Structure 1
């Protein structure tokens, strides 16, 4: 690795990769027509390489990068949760962590959708938009609340890990850790093994983080080579309103809550969230970003391992502030498009339904649209309206994932502070967690 690359921080390199990817994708849009052929020829040769670049190289490398992140999620969550749980000397602490975390996640979700509905009513994003007569959307059936509770408990932990069922993994890891803590010397010996495994997993996270700029480049290049600006035409008001509410919630709401609950400087937290937020933006997955989120919370924000191991996996599963914002604006938007006047009671029902659904549908595939379908059905709005907003949802999903993981870290800081598990020296240190940011692969190869 050259000296010049070492001078650039990881954040700067990710930004460069993101910018280069966006420019590359936009250029591909301009250079290729709908048939996949270049609009010009060189020396009489026609070039038809769009599919090779976008669906070949970019798609393959991007999928490998996402898979590399997801590869770490299950072992990281299981090992870190076991380590955190087996080290708890006070059994009641686990109950406090759960109560505080879930309560804060529900509170932030309720605030998010209330803010979204309020600004939606002020801006009126659906005014002037006509609903296409051929728009259709078939909603998947949401599980009942009792079924969700039952599904939280695994019948086969190995199967849960293979399928990436995060709630079941959390339950099993907590029970396993508690059993280790109650086993005496055998539990301590096994605990030392898990501590070593945790150290190795976090080192693997660091290695993959150093490869992030290349993964970000191909993901952005593929996205912006396939998404055209024309889709934003009639939905511009809706699109930009969701973006504005996401930014307001991510910056203002979280900052106020952190300051009021802990007295910490929220600007420091937001600055240290840059790398994780960029990962979340490009991957559009809280679960895929979880290894980076945990590294940020522990090494940059000073959140204790016993707290971060519990609150962050839980948050990546049930904290859906960004999705709640989309649902709030979408509900107002669809109601206005169809000319339906919702009452104050209807909007209160939307807030209540979406807040509970964020926990009740956790871990269900396509959870965002399932939740929105539930909300629309609750206030008798046609589910077919979802078809109108699906086209721009990919771009919005990127932003709301970045908001979600910021909320996860904010809640972790609040819970850690209340439990005396927050290292404020690390939190306030601007260089915390950056010393191992660049790995000298040349040195590594020579000494391997």
Structure 2
């Protein structure tokens, strides 16, 4: 009951921070447009340098960037917790399972559920993208004022398989981006401890104590600093955008936003009703603050600690299930990212003169499925990995590169929204698997 009350208080604080951040952010957009249009560029530059400027950017040596610093300190504090939390929680989840068949069932059900939801997301995105394409909404992009931005070199999506098994134990634990390698190491250590049983009781006790320390640090960071950081992150994000960036790709933005909202409010409740035979209302209500947190940070990794806390304490999922499914989902379950990448690929193809056929959409969907698995749980990663899909499809003419540059320029708000989908998807899978394994406390879930 106490955790539920704390969760409601935190949710209220986050909603207030969200509303204030959006209002202030849009106010900054209006101020920015007014000052630039009236020739007061230097005044806006001063305001931007004091509050919003990325102080690590080239030429920003004299900037203060108050909102940037506050936001980054908070995100860094959360990312600091990610590796030890993922490693310790998975090791503990596995080493206490006495039935290895049960462990196999949990793993297979988790991966199967991830696969089903992602395939459904890809089909859904393909249908939406196809409808908008045939309506002629994805017209050629006006490249007059678009500066080409650096993307990434196209790589084979299957290279993600090579990163699962690291060649150095210590270096794997120092890389926030290599979560699959951390999961592999944690599973390996957990299985070894499970096999040795009593011989590893001292190490097991150490992991339990480390888990307690991580929980205390996590609660402090989230409860004390999250609302302030969310306000700063949102305000800065919207303050940095001008109307000129958004207008050329308005059809793309509207299409993706509608698709993401539709999938969030329709698909996940259906999954819970069909796969877990549960009322989705308590889930959606309790996950609201996690979705808001994901929207604010635009990072599944940064949202993982709060997601796990909410899933275990407020949704009644066994810590064993949550400790395994959530870190794994953060890496390979990217429903929102997959939707964005499919619609973005169709937009780039249509706006740069390529024909979009059923076959090409099917190939885009397969590439998006593979690429989304390898998408790092960090801000902006989805749009960067999109380049892999475009090169795989051969969408590489000048118009395609300009369209891709436009997506990179305006995709931050969309990345924020799709992160909300990704983290809600991870939690829904945890609930579904826990229900199937009779490891869901339904009293807590419905409270």
Task: Tell me the TM-score range normalised by the shorter chain.
Answer: 0.7 to 0.9
Match 2:247 to one of 233, 246, 265: 233
Query: More deviation in 406-415 or 95-104?
Result: 95-104
| Cα offset, 1:425, TM superposition | 1.2
Give the aligned partner of residue 21 of structure 2: 21
Give the aligned partner of residue 207 of structure 1: 220
**TM-score, normalised on structure 2?**
0.86
Query: More deviation in 157-166 or 408-417?
Result: 157-166
Give the aligned partner of residue 282 of structure 1: 296
Map 1:22-171 to 2 at 5 A: 22-31=22-31, 33-34=35-36, 37-38=42-43, 48-55=46-53, 56-124=65-133, 126-132=137-143, 136=148, 138-143=151-156, 145=158, 147-164=159-176, 165-171=178-184
Change (3 A) 1:236 1:141: closer
The gaps in structure 2 that reach 5 residues or longer are: 1-5, 54-64
Contact 1:81 1:170 in 2 (8 A): yes
Change (3 A) 1:161 1:17: same
| Cα offset, 1:7, TM superposition | 12
Mapped to 1, the partners of 2:283 and 2:89 lie a distance apart of 22
Change (3 A) 1:370 1:110: farther
RMSD after superposition: 2.5
| Cα offset, 1:300, TM superposition | 1.0
Mapped to 1, the partners of 2:332 and 2:309 lie a distance apart of 20
Q: 3-state SS of the aligned residue for 2:165? A: coil
Corresponding position: 1:396 with 2:410:
no
| Cα offset, 1:93, TM superposition | 2.6
Change (3 A) 1:345 1:149: same
| Cα offset, 1:247, TM superposition | 1.0
Contact 1:131 1:388 in 2 (8 A): no
Match 1:301 to one of 309, 315, 325: 315
Q: 3-state SS of the aligned residue for 1:235? A: helix
| Cα offset, 1:171, TM superposition | 0.9
Change (3 A) 1:197 1:49: same
| Cα offset, 1:16, TM superposition | 1.5
Mapped to 1, the partners of 2:169 and 2:377 lie a distance apart of 15
| Cα offset, 1:191, TM superposition | 1.8
Change (3 A) 1:271 1:361: closer
Contact 1:84 1:309 in 2 (8 A): yes
Change (3 A) 1:139 1:189: closer
Deviations 1:270-289, CA, capped at 9 Å, x for gaps? 11101111110011000111
Query: More deviation in 117-126 or 157-166?
Result: 117-126
Q: How many residues align?
A: 416
Q: 3-state SS of the aligned residue for 2:248? A: coil
Give the aligned partner of residue 192 of structure 1: 205
Mapped to 2, the partners of 1:185 and 1:11 lie a distance apart of 42
Contact 1:126 1:337 in 2 (8 A): no
Mapped to 2, the partners of 1:157 and 1:428 lie a distance apart of 42
Mapped to 2, the partners of 1:368 and 1:127 lie a distance apart of 20
Give the aligned partner of residue 436 of structure 1: none
Change (3 A) 1:255 1:331: same
Mapped to 2, the partners of 1:48 and 1:344 lie a distance apart of 51
Deviations 1:144-186, CA, capped at 9 Å, x for gaps? 62x4323211222221111122111111111111111222323
Mapped to 2, the partners of 1:82 and 1:291 lie a distance apart of 16
Map 1:318-337 to 2 at 5 A: 318-337=332-351
